[in-house]
A and B are shown apart, each in its own frame.
Chain A
Amino acid sequence: EDQVTQSPEALRLQEGESSSLNCSYTVSGLRGLFWYRQDPGKGPEFLFTLYSAGEEKEKERLKATLTKKESFLHITAPKPEDSATYLCAVQVGGRDDKIIFGKGTRLHILP
């Protein structure tokens, strides 16, 4: 069964304390992996797409990496405004290009 697992469920960091969020997947035929940021009561905001192992993408304090089994979202020197839920999703190969979402990691950056 295709599955996407994010860890940890929640993470509290001090401002400036770098860390990483994990997204592990077991799917039949990865077509792409997506990272989103979601603020409370709002829709997910698209961050990155990764398509092949070894690929990396960066945006401000965020950097996403991809291997054959997992992806990491690295947060360098985070600020309180980086607090949000980060969602990982995987596109599985097939006729309908199904997308499977993880449950997310709630990140809280303390000032």
Chain B
Amino acid sequence: DGGITQSPKYLFRKEGQNVTLSCEQNLNHDAMYWYRQDPGQGLRLIYYSQIVNDFQKGDIAEGYSVSREKKESFPLTVTSAQKNPTAFYLCASSIKREGRNEQFFGPGTRLTVL
């Protein structure tokens, strides 16, 4: 089955620790995205990548880092510099065609800082 997988589903972290969230897609999509979702707020873009070995900061990149070594994979590291990391994290991918950018989402990872 084609789709986007995220792991783990739930993640607990102690303050001061870095954690890495996994995102894999087998849709052969070029672009991948990381969003953060907090209660009562819309999805906010953290980082995005349009091609392998290239990525750009989104609206709230501070305290996060990413890599894009493979087309299929776009892991997100939440560093200890992120002041309020507890949130629901969503990965998405899209294939840009004729100017269109329909994004499809993974199931999400809920991160809780203890």
**Contacts from A to B (Cβ < 8 Å):** 4, 31-32, 34, 36, 41-46, 49, 51, 87, 89, 91, 96-97, 99-104
Contact = CB atoms under 8 A, between A and B. Distances in A.
A55 B45 CA distance: 28
B81 to A, nearest CB: 25
A69 B42 CA distance: 19
Contacts of B4: 43
B9 to A, nearest CB: 9
Judged by DSSP, the binding face of A is: strand
B28 interface: no
A91 to B, nearest CB: 5
B102 A43 contact: no
Nearest to A36: B105
Contact of A46 (B43, B88, B99, B104): B104
B56 A103 contact: no
A49 B100 contact: yes
Interface string B30-48: 0000010000111101001
A36 B103 CA distance: 10
B108 A91 contact: no
Contacts of A41: 88, 108, 110
B108 A43 contact: yes
A32 to B, nearest CB: 6
A104 B99 contact: no
